[in-house]
Amino acid sequence: PQRSEEAKAFVSAFLKRSMPKMKDEAIQDVLSRKAVVLEHYSKKRKKQKRKKTKSFTAKQRREMRLFEIEPEQQRYAIFLPLHELWKQYIRDLCYGLKPDAQPQMVQGKLLKADLHGAIVTVTKSKCPSYVGITGIILQEFKHVFKIITKEDKLKVIPKLNNVFSLEIDGFISYIYGSRFQFRASERSAKKFKLKGTIDL
């Protein structure tokens, strides 16, 4: 029939276009077996390079004063709610801070905890003028704490050569600043070893 001849002609032409590398005899051989596997040529997609987002340099951050607290915001009362949030965060972190909680467990949790909002006191220092300063930690950097005192004064206390005490629900923890010179993000992943006291 005419339709079957047209169909064969169409199939032959289609296979020649689809399989340009094969000869006519090979195509006829494939047709006689009634099993046709068409070749597929995939176009290689060009990989688009991801643009890296540029962050501000330390110098740019200083020039923009991103981390500076405005004088009108330097009031102790403003940050008391932050301290209450911090206390609840520590209670949750230490499973309620029950009276039978092991001091070593609490100490280990506090060493890795975020201290923004904690009330700390400088108990020992090579610089006598720092001893007795108490306030809420507003910012923690690698080498210093920025705290706000009850007198609404913003103090920058270096960690080096200072010992800080931190009290919550009757638990008192001591932080040796010389061993604590890390950023908060670095400290959370660090393993601290229990060591004896350090003489200043």
What mean pLDDT do residues 93-120 have? 83
Cα-Cα-Cα-Cα dihedral sign, residues 108, 109, 114, 116: negative
pLDDT for position 184: 76
Its pTM stands at 0.64
Q: For 147-180, what is each residue's pLDDT tens digit?
A: 999 999 999 999 999 999 998 888 888 888 888 8
Of 186, 178, 137, 183, residue with least CA distance to 158: 178
Task: Please give the mean pLDDT across all residues of the chain.
Answer: 81
The CATH number assigned to the domain holding 184 equals 2.30.30.210
Q: Are residues 177 and 89 in the same domain?
A: yes
Q: Are residues 26 and 81 in the same domain?
A: no
Q: Are residues 16 and 94 in the same domain?
A: no
Of 170, 174, 167, 168, residue with least CA distance to 196: 174
Q: Are 140 and 120 in contact (CB under 8 A)?
A: no
Provide the domain limits for residue 147: 74-189
**Domain total in the chain:** 2
